[in-house]
Amino acid sequence: SIVQTADGALAEMKDIVHRLKELSIRSANGTNTNEDRQAMQAEVSQLAEELTRITKQTEYNGQKLLNGDLGVKGRSYVLGTSKDYSESGIYGVSAVAVNAKDRTSTGAATYAFSSDPDGIKINGELYKWSDIKNTELPEESLASDPILPGKYMIETNDGVKFTLSVLGGSTTDQIGQSVNGLSAGINDSGVAGFDPNSLKPVRDGESVTVNPDGSTTVIGYGTMVYQDGDETVLSAGPDPGSTKDNVQDDIGTGLSIDDYNNHALEGKGKTLLIEDDENGVPQVKSFSGFPFSTAEGGKFETDPLSKTLTYSDSNGNELVLNYTDDLAKGKTIYLDVISKGEMKIQVGNTEGQEIVIRIPDCSLESMGIGDLDVTTAEEAKKSIGRCDAALAYLSRVSSRIGAIQNRFEANISNLNVSEENLTGSFSTIRDTDMAAEMVEYTKYQILTQAGVSILSQANELPQQALQLLQ
């Protein structure tokens, strides 16, 4: 049932991606006007939201199936990403979100941030770097070296949650300086926000400005405040006039981990340098941190059809990476392989008789269609190829699920044969075969009667001889 649930959701996702490709093809046609393409983009956005909903909400018995919980846990990033924001003065943290939904105290309150060598202070209370955990990888914290890009949670004593979006390559000093002096407030109604007076201009010489309607606060160069569900987010975008939809938490690498077959491949700090060959196909030019180097028999192979990079070596280790058209080429990509999420199904009556279910993340980003654009003919043409890559990705996931389902069916057949034979053996040991026992009983009865008859006849012969002598 688990496998069939996931397979059914993937079938729906494939249908949606087919529709996205159809819209991309239509938009690439020169007969369309800008208004036509805007209408197509509106449908694309709705379909993308539906894909995200399916990914996040497909579950079985409360366990998410397609959001990556049953896949490989890891991250790829480029060190020094925060330097790409140097023009806007943003270092360490690109966004801070406050959520007062679970707050236990009442009344208006202010939460003032300050930096400390050992962590971040909120209203004088120290939250150590090691206690500020990654929301997706709880084993990672701001005390990790290097610090993984991603979101890190601070929860105050009264249940207010602050989420820091940390850039790749950041240091604790940069993170501390990013939030030093920041002030968040909660009013009497429990609505959270940020004090505009605490928001420093992100570039020297620029002043803080607030929109008259109060819906969006813009601070200097590309920084804004917006509402996202229960969270109020202060975010720094790379460009002036950034909007909620184009603010970046980090610069992506276009590389994700699909699967690996050995714990020897786990670990942080692996590096890859990827460049296009003469045919425009990405090739790994150099790598480090893997069990075997090139000289020792380690190698990477590219499959442009499925858009995968596969590491293998003479020891049987294998690691598969998926890449998108946005692959960070010419930069050193760092790869951290943390662990495997998996669901183990017991299929026998002894230890180790199990089948492991692994389903990779099926988010828009993993499929490479996170920001599909059909508003221009040029972008629509690019979207066609990206939809093809997404379909190939979903097909690989479906193939894996189909293989698991075949294993289940084969195992069920095997168990049925074993059960039948074990039942037969049990019956042979415990139950009496009446027909066979009656045959044995009759045989011994005949032998006993024959023996008695022969014995009586043998006793009569001496008596007859004595009678003749008399």
Q: What is the pLDDT of residues 53-65, one digit of tens each?
A: 999 889 888 888 8
Q: 141 and 43, same structural domain?
A: no
pLDDT of 21 reads 94
Radius of gyration of the chain (CA): 35
Distance from chain centroid for Cα 129: 25
pLDDT-derived band at 249, boundaries 50, 70, 90: very low
pLDDT in tens, 377-405: 988 998 998 899 889 888 888 888 888 88
Average pLDDT, the chain: 79
**Single-letter amino acid code for the residue at 450:** A
Q: Choose the weakest-confidence range: 241-250, 295-304, 439-448.
A: 241-250
Q: 218 and 284, same structural domain?
A: no
pLDDT of 392 reads 86
Q: 120 and 45, same structural domain?
A: no
pLDDT average, residue stretch 399-426? 86
pLDDT average, residue stretch 218-225? 46
The whole-angstrom separation of Cα 90 and Cα 169 is 13
Q: 329 and 261, same structural domain?
A: yes
- Residue 28: both structure tokens together: 């690439």
- Residue 374: both structure tokens together: 């059909």
- Residue 220: both structure tokens together: 């200097």
pLDDT average, residue stretch 75-92? 48
Longest pairwise C-alpha distance within the chain = 155
Partnered with residue 73 across adjacent β-strands are 339
**Domain containing 274: what range?**
2-74+252-380+389-403
| Cα four-point dihedral sign 25, 26, 27, 29 | positive
**Single-letter amino acid code for the residue at 112:** A
Q: 222 and 257, same structural domain?
A: no
Q: 294 and 270, same structural domain?
A: yes
Q: 90 and 63, same structural domain?
A: no
CATH of the domain at 301: 1.20.1330.10
- At residue 271, what are phi and psi to the nearest 5 degrees? -130, 150
Which of 202, 236, 270 is the last residue in one of the domains? 236
pLDDT average, residue stretch 322-350? 80
Residue of 271 and 76 predicted with greater confidence: 271
Asked whether the whole model's pTM tops 0.75, one would answer: no
Q: 145 and 196, same structural domain?
A: yes
**Closest residue by Cα to residue 325 from 248, 388, 257, 272:** 388
The whole-angstrom separation of Cα 333 and Cα 314 is 24
Q: 201 and 166, same structural domain?
A: yes
- Does residue 332 carry a pLDDT above 90? no
pLDDT of 412 reads 87
Q: 258 and 226, same structural domain?
A: no
Counting the structural domains of the chain, the total is: 2
Q: 105 and 53, same structural domain?
A: no
Share of the chain above pLDDT 70, in %: 84
The whole-angstrom separation of Cα 288 and Cα 341 is 25
C-alpha angle 9-25-47 in degrees, rounded to nearest 5: 35
**Closest residue by Cα to residue 183 from 225, 215, 142:** 225
Which of 236, 265, 298 is the last residue in one of the domains? 236
pLDDT of 226 reads 65
pLDDT of 133 reads 93
Q: 204 and 85, same structural domain?
A: yes
* 298 assigned to some structural domain: yes
